[in-house]
Amino acid sequence: MMIVVASIAVAIVCFILYTLDRKSKSEPIDWTQASKLSVFGGIITAGVVFATSGENIPDLTKPLQAIVSETQDMFVGVPTF
């Protein structure tokens, strides 16, 4: 849920900053540019929140622990040539 809230908040902030920038320069708002900035700002924020959240880390390390134990089991004992 944090990913959705953060990405929507950043998208709204991107839109507000874009409109304030355009209004301060007395230029018209280009709606395609505003929507692109908002959408890409939200997508980038969602990726950063997903990558830095601690919720997903234990799920990702479980398969690695199984692989490590299987690999160690293969090399138990004295090698015979």
Question: Is 78 within a domain?
Answer: no
Please give the distance of CA 51 from its chain centroid, rounded to a whole number: 5
pTM: 0.63
Distance CA 34, CA 32 (A): 5
**Which residues span the domain enclosing 63?**
2-73
- Kindly tell me if the per-residue pLDDT of 34 is higher than 70: yes
Average pLDDT over residues 10-33: 94
Q: Is the dihedral of CA 26, 29, 30, 32 positive or negative?
A: positive
Domain count, the chain: 1
- Kindly tell me if the per-residue pLDDT of 52 is higher than 70: yes
Question: Is 79 within a domain?
Answer: no
Task: Tell me how crowded residue 7 is: count the other CB atoms within 10 A of its CB.
Answer: 22
Whether 14 and 37 have beta carbons less than 8 Å apart is answered as yes
Average pLDDT over residues 40-57: 83
Split at pLDDT 50, 70, 90, the class of 76 is low
Distance CA 9, CA 21 (A): 18
